Amino acid sequence: MEITALTIRNFRAVKDLRIDGFGKFNLFVGRNNVGKTTLLEALFLVSGMSNAQLSVAIHNSRDLLMTDDDDFRFMFHDLDFETPISIDASLEGRLRKLVITPQYGVSGSFQPAIRTGEPGEVISGGSQLSVSTQSHKAVTGIQLDFIPPDGKSRNANISILRGWQPVLPAVYSEELQCAYLNPRILSAPFDTIWEKALREKKTGLVIKTLQQIEPRVQRIELGTRGMLWVDVGMDTLAPIQILGDGFRHILTLIAYIAIYEHGVLLVDEIENGLHYSSLDIMWDAVLTASQEYDVQIIATTHSNECVSAYSDSADRILKGLDVAKLYRLERTLEGGHKSVEYDSAVMKTALEQGYEVR
């Protein structure tokens, strides 16, 4: 199952953006702060729109500290709670709609509090007291109203002050498997994802794909304390760290592809931490594994070398199939966003002629 179109309104810095015609493989480029990560976050939210916990997860991935429900404003365009977030996605013609709004409660009817150094404070005998008798709306969480392809409206909500426990809809499960990876996840300990691949008996093709990178690899074993050991034909198993961070980066990508079979993998800064000479190897592995496991890839990059390697691998691995696309995100003069699409042939020609596609 693949995402074929996306519309974002009023989410983070993106006021309005529509993208049609996603391919099997999609790489997004653009200037810093143009909205590439926001695009992936929107796709992640609408893919799991019944799970309100994802709204917290995308903040954590940016190292945004959320201490109360008011911090959900980081999701809203211009930090304005009064502007609802709208994300629509089409999955092979089947529409999914998500609207995110704040939940309000009333607070402040009588709130004594200790305050320091602020105008209007009352200080008597060394003590400080601030009293308010004015009622006002307070954000008590966010609500997600969504319509899946069956057309039935449902909702979910979450509040930090309620202990992060989401309220989920009854008798509903998502049909789309989707994972969101960023540089932190790609460099995190690998034992959990490999254990899952072992349980689901999906390590065979992962090893086969990795042998194209390192032919000596015969198997990878999960040891104690999360240690991974690799058999490269020596008398004893060796820690996987000896094969380097680049090998581990690619191994993580391939393992996620195997686990999210028939799903979607979102990858922010897919080249992060890799030497440019390894990018062809990475893309060959990603495209090969994604075809085998029927996984759609939607990724971002800042690197021109990564774009070139992507184009070369698409030529080499996909053998003429026009399913690899490049998109450049841009801001419009009206304050919105637009995307410029390159199919495989146009991307290759632009790169060969030295055009700046980023």
* 242-272 per-position pLDDT tens digit: 777 778 888 889 999 999 999 999 999 999 8
Question: 99 or 105, which is more confident?
Answer: 99
Tokens describing residue 6? 């996306």
Banded model confidence at residue 106, pLDDT cuts 50, 70, 90: low
Banded model confidence at residue 358, pLDDT cuts 50, 70, 90: low
Give the pLDDT confidence score for residue 115 in this predicted structure.
38
Does pLDDT of 28 surpass 60? yes
Strand partners, 286: none
Give the pLDDT confidence score for residue 174 in this predicted structure.
82
The arithmetic mean of pLDDT across residues 141-168, rounded, is 87
User: Which region among 127-131, 211-215, 218-222, 277-281 has the lowest average model confidence (pLDDT)?
Assistant: 127-131
Q: Rounded to the nearest 5 degrees, what angle is found at the Cα of 247, between the Cα atoms of 25 and 280?
A: 45
Full-model pTM: 0.85
Q: Which of 182, 312, 321 is nearest to 253 (CA)?
A: 182
Distance between CA 24 and CA 1 in Å, rounded? Answer: 10
Average pLDDT along the chain: 83
Question: 225 or 271, which is more confident?
Answer: 271
Banded model confidence at residue 127, pLDDT cuts 50, 70, 90: very low
Q: Rounded to the nearest 5 degrees, what angle is found at the Cα of 273, between the Cα atoms of 268 and 279?
A: 85
Does pLDDT of 175 surpass 70? yes
User: Which region among 52-61, 278-287, 313-322, 344-353 has the lowest average model confidence (pLDDT)?
Assistant: 344-353
User: Which region among 8-22, 119-133, 231-245, 264-278 has the lowest average model confidence (pLDDT)?
Assistant: 119-133
Give the pLDDT confidence score for residue 286 in this predicted structure.
94
| Residues ≥6 apart with Cβ < 8 Å to 320 | none
Q: Rounded to the nearest 5 degrees, what angle is found at the Cα of 11, between the Cα atoms of 7 and 14?
A: 75
Give the pLDDT confidence score for residue 10 in this predicted structure.
96
| Residues ≥6 apart with Cβ < 8 Å to 296 | 2, 3, 22, 24, 25, 26, 263, 264, 265, 290
User: Which region among 24-33, 118-127, 136-145, 279-288 has the lowest average model confidence (pLDDT)?
Assistant: 118-127
